[in-house]
Structure 1
Amino acid sequence: MHAHADAQGRPLGFDLTSGEVSDYSGADALIDLPVVTPCRLLADKGYDSDRIRENLLVRGILPIIPPRSNRTEDIPCNFRCSRDRNRIERMFNKLKQFRRIPTRYDKTRKSVLAFLNLAAVKLWRSSFVNRT
């Protein structure tokens, strides 16, 4: 599961790939989601590739991706901005609180995406509730 989230860690869109597929294949689908184009992309080491970095820079998106340990050339990374990725990890944790998602009860792609969208609505709901 790949997710596109805003700066507060709220989900904006999802893309599903099979479990054996690397993160490289899900990056293009996330960037092509019909939401506002971000100014920077926070991702983990699984998305570290030259092709993804070039694709992001062509689109005007600054990649904030820590380099993998087996890289031959040194790639600068803003580790201060990379700490904001914690919000994204917390979003995944909140999504996994819905028991259906981590246990994978739904077998079809359509039903998994539908339930992910329902869980996203529940996460977004707290942003619109009056907390006075």
Structure 2
Amino acid sequence: MELELRHLRVLCAIADAGSVGRAAAELGYSQPAVSTQLRRIERYFGEPVFERGPAGVQLTPYGFEVVASARDVLARADAIGRRPAAGAVAARRTLRVAATNSPMLAGMVSGLRARMADVSLAVNSVYASSRIVELLEEGAVDAGLAA
């Protein structure tokens, strides 16, 4: 199996819905089809992305990393089709953001790119939230996200 964008969309839908059945309904697929797809994806990764329980699914620690990366890849893929014309690139502004690596980061990046297509986004990944404060005070970044 080769990993495709549709696989990443399935993972994100399951993570957002909290259950395979609800994700299947949102995607317009049957629950068995999404369950089969999830098993293939987890077999591809070599470890579980979700822990299954009677109330639904929860991301494993590895799953948090996978879904955060999936959201980032999907946001970047969606942005490809929204690139401005060559002459408009020079007029783009850049929003400089410092952020700790968290599952929220990819969703924030995706949301900003969708709402602010004319703004280029530069993300500086930092380990400690105290470093975000320092970067803000130095004027090296415009915004920060720590979770």
TM-score, normalised to structure 2, is 0.29
With CA pairs under 8 Å and 6+ residues apart, which has the higher RCO, 1 or 2? Answer: 1
TM-score, normalised to structure 1, is 0.31
Larger Rg, first or second structure (1 or 2): 2
